[in-house]
Amino acid sequence: MVAQTLDSSWQGVLAKVKNWARINSPWAIHFNSGSCNGCDIQILATLTPRYDVERFGIKLQGSPRHADVLICTGPVTMQARDALLRTYEQMPDPKFVIAVGSCGLSGGVFHGCYNIVGGINELLPVDVFVPGCPPRPEGIIYGVAVLLGALKSGKRPEPIQWSGTGLDGVLHTGSKLEDHHG
């Protein structure tokens, strides 16, 4: 799904990404859009010495204005929605989004409840989805590594076809819902 013909704005982004990919240590900000904290506990576990995600070069800190990556959990409640958008807008370009957990994919077990928006990709362009309820710390680190690996080679993450493991899902990229069906 890597586009062969790119419009100029997309080329502009890629150029920025190539330049930026020289940065080895992206700063991340975490945002909880209404999750039960299950995923957040697992994200926290990645910071503990056992998993130590910081050795991959990703650093968790507090301000969106310094962040390159947004790690987002939760099914996006109505109250959280504006805050999430504002956080994203405050981040400088180029910026990337990792959605962690089933809630971030589709609203998870809360799908259809009246006070949630649903998957994070309904609101923001998401680059990496990490499925699970909650995902294991290893899964979260894998998601981070996928993003970093793609960035180091100067492009946005590509979709990965799973095969042989029995998983029929696809790790998608792109911003709109239409990319994710089928």
Partner 1 sequence: MASTIGALGAVEAVLEPLAVSFNRPQPERLDAVIRPDDLLTAVRTMVNESWGFLSAIVGLDHPAPAPVEGEAEVEGSIEVLYTFCKGAAIAILRTTLPYSQAVLPTISGLLPAAMLYEWELREMFGVEVIGLPVTGHLILADDWPDGLYPLRKSFVGFNGEEKSQ
Partner 2 sequence: MSADTNKFVIPIGPQHPALKEPANFEFWVDGETVTGASVRLGYVHRGIEKGAEARTWVQNLYLMERICGICSHVHATAYTLGVEKLAGVEAPPRAQAIRQIMGELERIHSHMLWLGVAAHEGGFDSLFMYSWRDRETVMDLLEKISGNKVHYSANLLGGVKFDITPELAAEIHKGLEFLDERNRFYLKVVNQDETFIGRPRGIGTMTAERANFLGAIGPTARASGVAHDIRVDAPYLKYSEFPIKVETHTSGDLHGRFIVRINETFESIRVIREILDHLPPGELTARMPRRIPAGEAISRVEAPRGELLYFVASNGSDKPERVKVRTPSLCNWSTVLSLAIGLKLADMPMLLTGIDPCFSCNDRSVSVKRGTQDSSMWSWEKLRHYGIEYYR
- Torsion sign over Cα 146, 158, 32, 134: negative
Do the beta carbons of residue 62 and residue 39 sit within 8 Å?
no
Q: Which stretch binds partner 2 (CB under 8 A): 46-54, 91-99, 152-160, 162-170?
A: 46-54
Peptide bond into 75 cis (omega under 30): no
Residues 27, 31, 88, 96: which binds partner 2 (CB under 8 A)? 31
Establish if 178 lies at the interface with partner 1 (CB under 8 A).
no
The DSSP bridge partners found for residue 22 are none
Q: Does 25 bind partner 2 (CB under 8 A)?
A: no
Q: What's the closest the beta carbon of residue 117 comes to partner 1, in angstroms?
A: 7
Token pair of 132 as six digits: 């699970």
Residue with Cβ nearer partner 2 (17 or 144): 144
Can you tell me which of 104, 108, 119, 143 binds partner 2, judged by CB under 8 A? 108
Residue 181 CB, shortest distance to partner 1, in Å, is 14
**How many other CB atoms sit within 10 Å of the CB of residue 95?**
20
Considering only 17, 39, 105, 146, the residue that binds partner 2 (CB under 8 A) is 39
Residues 58, 25 contacting (CB under 8 angstroms): yes
Residue 175 near partner 1 by CB under 8 A:
no
| Binding partner at 117 among partner 1, partner 2, none, C-beta below 5 to 8 Å by kind | partner 1
Q: Is the peptide bond before 26 cis (omega within 30 degrees of 0)?
A: no
Say whether residue 45 binds partner 2 (CB under 8 A). yes
| Length of the chain as a residue count | 182
